Amino acid sequence: MENFFIGAGLALGFLTLLCLYRAIVGPTVLDRIVSIGVIGTKTTVILLLMGFIYGRADMFVDIALAYALLNFLATISAAKFFRTRKSIQPGHKYFKEREGRE
Amino acid sequence: MITVLSILLFLAGVFFFFTATVGLLRMPDFYCRMQATGKGDTLGAFLTITGLALYNLNHGFTLAAVLVSLKIMFIVVFIFVANPTATHAIAKAGMDCGVEPWTKEGGNT
Amino acid sequence: MRYIVVFLILFAHWVIWSGMLDAFHLSLGVISCGIVTAMSHDFLFRRDKFLPQHITEVFRFIFYIPWLMYQIFLSNIHVAKIVLSPDMPIDPKFVWYKSKLKKDISHAAYSNSITLTPGTITTDIVDGQYYVHCLDQKVADDLLTGDMEKKVAHVFLED
């Protein structure tokens, strides 16, 4: 059973790497926020898996809940922060003006 | 018996995580990406974490094991409420910044 | 009345999350739950009275959850089909949907339900009008029939 948990954790880690591609390349800031949120959900599950592998599920559950709360707060506050920025889309006139100036 | 059931739940959850990730990579614009992630992530987290909570009850129903399973189910409930809310917040931010949606006729963003 | 309900909810969470049932930890829980209740009793419930119909709402909401789970499962199959097919049959568009719901809680439940059902996410709510992003024309037609709104209105006693 422990081998199954380790394999499942490796699979989730591989999916996290795939999401990281979108976080690096993503055309707008909001794409990056979405992919960081997805990575956070997977990390919660991976933390629970670690608790079962080490046999200390009671301790890692608290850490996983704290991580889920922080992930939600980070997503909400980042979305709130970038809401008033009009310039996050590439090809927006802000970027063209800046390129013309350089 | 419980072990087999929890493994099946966990594998189904990993499959939905996989669909969410592929959707995040393949969809053409920001709103369509959120269609894939907002749903696939919620159901994937629900299935995987429920599988783990079931596996935790494998060694008998003692008070400590039931408490830990209850805590794990609390995480599921929280994710269920929080994930759609976060999706709304990001979508509203995208609308307010004027990210233009992709359409079939219009071509790119 | 509101103080007592908030205190009981907080104390139940304390017992579950601490997991220690001796007198010392329970008395610490009573003290801290009392302080939090005194400071923030009006965050959880806006109304001050509790009527029998609120109990009915809770029970109907519990019976609404299995239907919602079934819808979520269908929507994930739908998204998986679209994402894993090689030519991605999507035709995204925005739709305005006018809703007749009144209470804040039913607006919140309904918009979360829209997000979790196949092919639609709510992006904005202006005066009871929902601005919904749909993946193709078929799911938009399904949304505009308004079946789910009737179910939510039934749960929160608005029909």
Q: What is the DSSP string of C24-81?
A: HHHHHHHHHHHHHHHHHTTTT-S-S---HHHHHHHHHHHHHHHHHHHHHHHHHHHHHH
Chain B positions in Cβ-Cβ contact with residue A69 (cut-off 8 Å):
78
Chain B positions in Cβ-Cβ contact with residue C19 (cut-off 8 Å):
64, 67
Q: What was the pLDDT predicted at B81?
A: 86
What is the strand order of the sheet C93-98 is part of?
C93-98, C129-134, C120-126
Digit-coded pLDDT (tens) for A15-71? 999 889 888 887 778 888 888 999 999 999 999 999 989 888 888 988 999 999 999
Is C121–B26 a contact, with Cβ atoms under 8 angstroms apart?
A: no
| pLDDT > 80? residue A8 | yes
**Neighbors of chain A by Cβ distance (3+ pairs < 8 Å):** B
First to last CA, chain C: 28
CB-CB contact of A34 with B90 (8 Å): yes
Fold of A2-101: Helix Hairpins (1.10.287)
Digit-coded pLDDT (tens) for C9-48? 888 888 888 877 788 888 998 999 999 888 887 777 766 6
CB-CB contact of A36 with A74 (8 Å): yes
Tokens, residue C99: 């809703």
Residue type, C133: H
Domain boundaries along the sequence of chain A: 2-101
Tokens, residue A59: 């301790």
Digit-coded pLDDT (tens) for C89-138? 777 878 888 877 777 778 888 888 888 887 788 888 877 788 888 887 77
User: C131 CB near a chain B CB, below 8 Å?
Assistant: yes
User: C92 CB near a chain B CB, below 8 Å?
Assistant: yes
Digit-coded pLDDT (tens) for B17-42? 999 898 888 888 888 888 888 888 88
To test the contact with chain C by mutation, choose from B88, B99, B108 the residue with the greatest count of C C-beta atoms within 10 A, namely: B88
Q: What was the pLDDT predicted at B109?
A: 43
The residues pairing with B103 across neighbouring beta strands, listed in sequence order, are B107
